């Protein structure tokens, strides 16, 4: 569980820096950088969703096997 917390902390910090850069790019009216930042943020969110989906699948499979076996 500790590695999951470390991963989530890293992703949270990474996303925070991306959002800060996006905010700065919007203030500078740099539209190209905004599009790139939004693409990166979208990729991070999709990655987080994949991790959550994998974790749910893992726990459901384990519980299903426990119920069938017990």
Read off the pLDDT of residues 20-57 as tens digits, 9 standing for 90 and up: 887 777 777 666 667 778 888 899 999 999 999 999 99
Cβ(24)–Cβ(1) under 8 Å? Answer: no
Residues 16, 6: Cα–Cα separation, whole Å:
15
Query: pLDDT at residue 11 above 90?
Result: no
Residues 47, 42: Cα–Cα separation, whole Å:
9
Distances (CA, A) of 12 to 3, 15, 44: 14, 5, 10
Cβ(21)–Cβ(37) under 8 Å? Answer: yes
* pTM for the structure as a whole: 0.51
Helix, strand or coil, per DSSP, at residue 47: helix
């Amino acid at each position: 569980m500790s590695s999951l917390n470390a991963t989530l902390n890293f992703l949270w910090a990474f996303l925070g820096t991306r959002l800060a850069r996006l905010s700065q790019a919007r203030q500078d009216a740099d539209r190209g950088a905004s599009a790139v930042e939004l693409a990166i943020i979208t990729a991070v969110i999709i990655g987080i969703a994949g991790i959550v989906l994998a974790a749910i699948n893992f726990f459901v499979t384990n519980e299903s096997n426990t119920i069938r076996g017990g």
